[in-house]
Amino acid sequence: MAERAGHRGYIGARPLNGSRTPQHVQNIVIRDYARRKNLQYLLSAVEHIMPGSYMVLEDIVDELPRLNGLILYSIFMLPPDEARRREIYDRVLREGCDLHAAVEEIALSSRNDIQAVEDILLVNKFATIL
Amino acid sequence: MIDTDFLQADEQALAQRFIDDGFVTTPADDRAGLDRIQRRAAELAADYLKLPHSNDPYAMLDTIHTRVSVDDLNGLRLHVFNGLNAEPWFRPTYFRLARSTIETIVGNELCMQRRVNLSIQMPGDDSSLLATHSDVWSGDSPFEVVVWVPLVDVHRTKAMYLLPPSLNGDMQDRMASLRSAEQLYKTIQPHATFIEIPYGHVMLFNQTLMHGNRVNEETGTRWSMNCRFKSIMSPYADKRFGEFFEPILLRPATRVGMQYKLPGGFHG
């Protein structure tokens, strides 16, 4: 197997939970996370601004055989559809990779980690933030 | 046809080419400035690689793949990128390379991206490709244009590709049914044009059109810079004024208008 390259960053142009973070700030957060976790950061890909588009995330998932994993700016950048998220977790783990979310400092590296991530996403979906 | 009698004939022709083709290429307005940028980029690359400065900056850049590994490429790129952007003369010079074209296509009250980007595409390297995209999809305003400047001759896969305006809308309409940007490329591939630009020329293109690059299968390394310009009063998207763009040309009438206050104190 060819040597794997590192962790691909993943940022976006859509607001998250009603807030907007400039793209260069998202990159700073990811780069700092990678440095603290001793991960080799690879230049981030930027998801499309169109609501519901995850084409860029799909490209990164296709790239996983050549990566150690990916670092999302936030766990809330994952698709809202649970089945689609679980496909992503499956492919990440099947390729021997891991998935990180820099803002929340979450790492998903085994099946045991999936429920913790899903709990955060589901609670966020239903809970009210004042 | 551009419906105006207020432009010179050459400006009308340029504007029409931009509308029809989605890009225009022209000789650099400031060739000495372009040579200065090329020379400084080669010096910075030599510094990073601990080599003496070359008397032939073109050859130094075009053959850089014989001196640097893919693993070290981003380190080299960042060194040259930071070094160029730190030069106080760099951004004004970059603007002067295409000033007449920018003013014809965009206007003469302008803002400019704060940092000019640099791409290095070595032959056979797939580590830093840009998938098919429109800049607007990642948060740029459709009112922006890109000034794209190669530091070496570019042609075929050493260049970037662009989808013509006549096809862009149809392809965008089909996009939501595709899974990934790679699938999108395969869909547009028969219609995408790799743009040939000799060193000494610059390109200004419509970044709402799909574009990107593929693995460079030519013999030399591509060095190119890109920077966005827009009319200062036109709408912004996620790339905001102040954080991504800064004003470079603001005319006195606009300054007066922004500071003007109507007389107050009426109690009718």
Provide the shortest C-alpha distance from residue A98 to chain B (in Å).
20
Domain with residue B252: its CATH number is: 2.60.120.620
Residue A2 lies in a domain: no
What pLDDT, in 10s, does the model give residues A5-14? 899 999 999 9
According to the model, what pLDDT value does residue A3 have?
Answer: 75
ipTM: 0.85
Q: How far apart are CA B138 and CA B178, in angstroms?
A: 17
According to the model, what pLDDT value does residue A18 have?
Answer: 85
Residue B168 lies in a domain: yes
Domain that holds residue B24: 17-29+100-232+241-259
Domain that holds residue A108: 7-128
Cβ contact, residue pair B238, A47, below 8 Å: no
Domain count, chain B: 1
Nearest to A63 by CA among B166, B237, B53, B128: B128
The one-letter amino acid code at B144 reads: E
According to the model, what pLDDT value does residue A129 have?
Answer: 64
**Neighbouring-strand partners of residue B146:** B205, B228
Domain count, chain A: 1
Cβ contact, residue pair B137, A50, below 8 Å: yes
Domain with residue A41: its CATH number is: 3.40.50.1390
Residue B109 lies in a domain: yes
Average pLDDT for A107-129: 90
Cβ contact, residue pair B181, A24, below 8 Å: no
pTM of the model: 0.92
Cβ contact, residue pair A58, B179, below 8 Å: yes
Tokens 């060095």 correspond to B223
Residue A1 lies in a domain: no
Q: How confident is the model at residue A130 (pLDDT cuts 50, 70, 90)?
A: low
Summary count for chain A: helices (H), strands (E)? 4, 5
Please name the member of B128, B137, B184 whose beta carbon is closest to the beta carbon of A49. B137
According to the model, what pLDDT value does residue B129 have?
Answer: 84
According to the model, what pLDDT value does residue B209 have?
Answer: 97
What pLDDT, in 10s, does the model give residues A52-110? 999 999 999 999 999 999 999 999 999 999 999 999 999 999 999 999 999 999 999 99
Q: How confident is the model at residue A125 (pLDDT cuts 50, 70, 90)?
A: confident
* Residues of chain B below pLDDT 70: 1-3
A55 part of contact set with chain B, CB < 8 Å: yes
According to the model, what pLDDT value does residue B35 have?
Answer: 98
Give the ranges where chain B is alpha helix by DSSP (H): 9-21, 31-48, 57-62, 70-86, 90-97, 99-105, 165-174, 181-188, 252-259
Residue B5 lies in a domain: no
According to the model, what pLDDT value does residue B181 have?
Answer: 85
**Is pLDDT at A25 greater than 60 in this prediction?**
yes
Residue B138 lies in a domain: yes
Q: How far apart are CA B103 and CA B233, in angstroms?
A: 14
According to the model, what pLDDT value does residue B126 have?
Answer: 87
Residue B203 lies in a domain: yes
Residue B6 lies in a domain: no
What pLDDT, in 10s, does the model give residues B185-237? 999 999 999 999 999 999 999 999 999 999 999 999 999 999 999 999 999 99
Provide the shortest C-alpha distance from residue B176 to chain A (in Å).
8
Residue B174 lies in a domain: yes
Cβ contact, residue pair B238, A49, below 8 Å: yes
